[in-house]
Amino acid sequence: MKTLYQYAIVRFLPHVETGEFANVGIVLCAPELGLFDFRLANTRFARVTDFFEDLEGKLYKATLQTVEQELQRLQSYVTRLTPKELAQQMQEVVRPRETLVRYSELRSLYLDQKPAAVIDQLFERLVHRTFLTEEYQESLMVKVIRQQLKEEKLTHFKQQKIHDNLIEVTLPLVAKTNDVFVIRPLAFRQQTAIRLFDHAEQWLGRFRRLVNHDVLQKDHILLPLQGPADKDNKLLGAYKEVERELAAFGVQTLDHKDKAGISRFAKQALVADSFKLQ
């Protein structure tokens, strides 16, 4: 017999100004079963503290402990609620608040599975595996590059929004000095060639539009690239094709570990006449 489950992702957001967050848990509700359950990441979840700049592990640990206490209290309280009241309580749990921990929108599943299996699968897919996605890899690349630029006192690159008359794109490293310069790391760690191509086309399309509308110049765009981790011939072949397409478009690319190349590009924003990477 299938059961209606409602769940939300628990997100840790220590720096409101950047909008970056990490998935750190799941809350699950099955109103007809009178069930409310949750699963949180370990308070020593190193991948979270490594993700954010200048974050003390004590802050993450204390925050997770507070959330755990609140959810445990709620877990004991909901046993007295009707299914309708429990559904309403779940809505209250995920209500947007200005705190270090936020919840995603409420989502629904209709499954013929035990609650323990459902929460295990959600936690594995949405918390643990989050750190294997290209979005996470790109965030790590941004962190490394931002730290490098900070050490070299090239602090003119900030997260900013770039827009034309119709679209707006948030980019992690933008310098608006003598012109607009952009550094946008791209990770190609996808599991299939089609997903790799889709990721490339998404960003190529965005940059093509911004260039065509005179918002950016091609040679003022640097894309540090991270290739496939898997040595699969199809993935490597797809990545080589993406590199050729980016080069044909005219943007600058390099390996994401090429610190000297990134530094040379960043310094262009401080001089009147820019130059291409050699």
Looking at residue 137, its pLDDT comes to 83
Q: How far apart are CA 191 and CA 169, in angstroms?
A: 26
CATH of domain 134-268: 3.40.1350
Mean pLDDT of 128-137: 70
Mean pLDDT of 102-131: 89
* Alpha-carbon 129 to chain mean position: 12
Residue 198: CA count within 13 A, CB half-sphere: 8
pLDDT band at 134 (very low <50, low <70, confident <90, very high): confident
Chain position carrying tokens 């490339």: 200
| Least confident interval from 38-47, 117-126, 262-271 | 38-47
pLDDT at 86 > cutoff 50: yes
* Alpha-carbon 135 to chain mean position: 4
Cβ–Cβ under 8 Å, residues 104 and 11: yes
pLDDT band at 87 (very low <50, low <70, confident <90, very high): very high
| Least confident interval from 75-79, 107-111, 248-252 | 75-79
Give 231's contacts (C-beta < 8 A, 6+ positions apart): none
Q: DSSP states of 177-197 as a string?
A: SSSEEEE--EE---SSHHHHH
Give the H or E element holding residue 11. Answer: strand 3-15
Give the H or E element holding residue 15. Answer: strand 3-15
Residue 190 CA: distances (Å) to CA of 110, 123, 194, 246? 29, 21, 9, 18
Q: DSSP states of 47-107 as a string?
A: HHHHHSTT--HHHHHHHHHHHHHHHHHHHHHGGGS-HHHHHHHHHHHTS--SSSEEE---E
pLDDT at 66 > cutoff 90: yes
Cβ–Cβ under 8 Å, residues 10 and 27: yes
Q: How far apart are CA 15 and CA 55, in angstroms?
A: 9
Query: Highest mean pLDDT: which of 4-8, 51-55, 154-158?
Result: 4-8
Q: How far apart are CA 178 and CA 191, in angstroms?
A: 40
pLDDT at 136 > cutoff 80: no
In 3-state terms, what secondary structure has residue 106? coil
Residue 245: both structure tokens together: 């397409």
| pTM score, whole prediction | 0.59
Q: How far apart are CA 91 and CA 107, in angstroms?
A: 11
Closest CA to 15 of 47, 41, 44, 51: 51
Domain ranges of the chain: 3-130, 134-268
Q: DSSP states of 35-47 as a string?
A: EEEEEE--TT-HH
Please give the mean pLDDT across all residues of the chain.
89
